[in-house]
A and B are shown apart, each in its own frame.
Chain A
């Protein structure tokens, strides 16, 4: 059919091609089976209740850095950092000769509903830090906090600054009440006491909120865009890994969730120097270790304005920020950033040995 200069005919032809693409995508997806995630070798070296501290198997000769303990967010699963061999932040660190530990908060259930943030920070995180220190017979380590895990790491580092040789925060909210922060605007009027009165907050509820931040892109466009993959098996597997990660969301322990929303989102206590954990004041000015603060310019969950104020609040004289042209997730798995971000982390650590 000659469609030259006939926009309607061109549209029809294009629509027919999309239909064919859709068939190819469906055919490939039906043969995909289960996708594998978190493929780097690791073993659980310490566990308590639902949490597990993993140590990754070395992939290169030790570069003699202090061990790195990664503290991930509680609201998602940490295998985003090790999604697949060619998209793995952790693997890049291992290849640079780092000794990597990961704190996995697990899947909290009803038995954890009364555990407050003090248990998570001053309990679980503390014991993981102390385990690593004892294991290596050292006084301090490198703590790397991601998103909410970055906020928890900041709290811990402010409480126990002597145990932290370096702190790296990635897409970490510090000021929870900036104008760009949509999640925070929505959280202000939620009666979080009532929300958590009937138990843990389901991962599905949180996903619904995340999807509502950009509903057209996240519930429609990304699936329509699958048609452009033309049934490419590798690309579809990548897509399915990410899809699995997005919706593999643990329920949130009621008390810790209530405290996090109320103290951080609604009252902004951390940046106002009004936060107390386990009976001790959490003061960012006590944080004197070198800090690398990485944030993403297109982050719709933690806007840069939420992370940037950290530099002005801490007591450390060695503060460096790194703005990456990516989104909240793209920072770890994006085409360029999946290599450049870990490389920047390693270079920063190298210059502070």
Chain B
């Protein structure tokens, strides 16, 4: 009797009460499988780069006697060969695509894992990512509203301060009415503009 084959699991349609969880779990399994495949390709590619680097090193040693006289020289020569060969491969479209696929699969895995964690958090009445995100948005909106309102609040406060200040007794004829009207405005902020 054959045992459970995890490779076939993602193909089974999700059914019943736990179908949502089954789907997430199936997707996680599928992504793990994809990652393993791509990673194997990536490792194969790296092995090919190393093989090429060894060939370059061999050519270099054969072509340019005398051979390195110290382990340091030999090692540095190897690093030059390896880095040069790697750089050639790393600039290729194939390398970039493979690296991106690994990254994208890994990102998709994290997203699915997040969904599962979210579900578990809700069941345990723990703060979930979605809940925290909502709070962040609300705090941000509040901050923006406060920043937008700040100049108006400052203006109102200045007006209030001026209005509540007792008027200084002065002779009625000493200033023209227009000047008296001006004095009810908040005092201008002194600010010198110019080079330091």
Do A186 and B108 touch (CB < 8 A)? no
Do B96 and A138 touch (CB < 8 A)? no
Give A66 to B195 CA distance when docked, in angstroms: 8
**Of B9-17, B63-71, B163-171, B177-185, which stretch is located at the interface?**
B63-71
Q: Is B86 an interface residue (CB 8 A)?
A: yes
Q: Is A281 an interface residue (CB 8 A)?
A: no
Do A189 and B100 touch (CB < 8 A)? yes
Q: A186-B100, A189-B96, A190-B100 given as contacts; is B107 within 8 A of A114 (CB)?
A: no
Question: B31 to chain A: closest CB distance in Å?
Answer: 11
Do B193 and A217 touch (CB < 8 A)? no
Do A224 and B75 touch (CB < 8 A)? yes
Q: Residues of A contacting B75 with CB < 8 Å?
A: 221, 224
Chain A interface size, as a band, is 35 or more
Q: Is B91 an interface residue (CB 8 A)?
A: yes
Interface residues in A50-72 (C-beta closer than 8 Å to B): 64, 66-67
Give A189 to B82 CA distance when docked, in angstroms: 25
Interface residues in B153-196 (C-beta closer than 8 Å to A): 191-196
Do B86 and A198 touch (CB < 8 A)? no
Do A11 and B71 touch (CB < 8 A)? yes
Q: A7-B69, A18-B71, A186-B96 given as contacts; is B83 within 8 A of A137 (CB)?
A: no
Q: Residues of B contacting A67 with CB < 8 Å?
A: 196
Q: Residues of B contacting A10 with CB < 8 Å?
A: 69-70
Chain B interface size, as a band, is 35 or more
Give A115 to B141 CA distance when docked, in angstroms: 12
Interface residues in A81-109 (C-beta closer than 8 Å to B): 99
Q: Residues of A contacting B99 with CB < 8 Å?
A: 186, 189, 212
Give A153 to B67 CA distance when docked, in angstroms: 51
Q: Is B131 an interface residue (CB 8 A)?
A: no
The contact string, 1 if C-beta is below 8 Å from chain A, for chain B 74-106, is 111001001100110011010011011101100
Q: Is A228 an interface residue (CB 8 A)?
A: yes
Q: Is B148 an interface residue (CB 8 A)?
A: no
The residue on B at minimum CB distance from A49 is B143
Q: Is B122 an interface residue (CB 8 A)?
A: no
Q: Is B111 an interface residue (CB 8 A)?
A: yes
Give A139 to B101 CA distance when docked, in angstroms: 49
User: Looking at the complex, which one of B111, B139, B140 makes contact with A194 (CB distance below 8 Å)?
Assistant: B111
The residue on A at minimum CB distance from B143 is A49
Give A110 to B133 CA distance when docked, in angstroms: 9
The contact string, 1 if C-beta is below 8 Å from chain B, for chain A 213-240, is 1111100110010011000000000000
Give A197 to B103 CA distance when docked, in angstroms: 13
Q: Residues of A contacting B82 with CB < 8 Å?
A: 216
Q: Residues of B contacting A99 with CB < 8 Å?
A: 196
Closest 10 CB pairs of A and B: A189-B100, A14-B70, A198-B110, A194-B107, A195-B107, A216-B82, A136-B196, A191-B104, A137-B192, A221-B79
Instruction: Provide a sorted-by-A list of 27 A–B residue pairs whose CB atoms are within 8 angstroms.
Output: A10-B69, A14-B71, A18-B71, A66-B195, A66-B196, A113-B136, A114-B140, A134-B191, A137-B192, A137-B194, A139-B193, A182-B90, A186-B90, A186-B99, A189-B96, A189-B97, A189-B101, A190-B103, A191-B103, A191-B104, A194-B108, A197-B111, A198-B107, A198-B111, A212-B99, A214-B83, A214-B86
Chain B interface (Cβ < 8 Å from any Cβ of A): 67, 69-72, 74-76, 79, 82-83, 86-87, 90-91, 93, 96-97, 99-101, 103-104, 107-108, 110-111, 113-114, 129, 132-133, 136-137, 139-140, 191-196
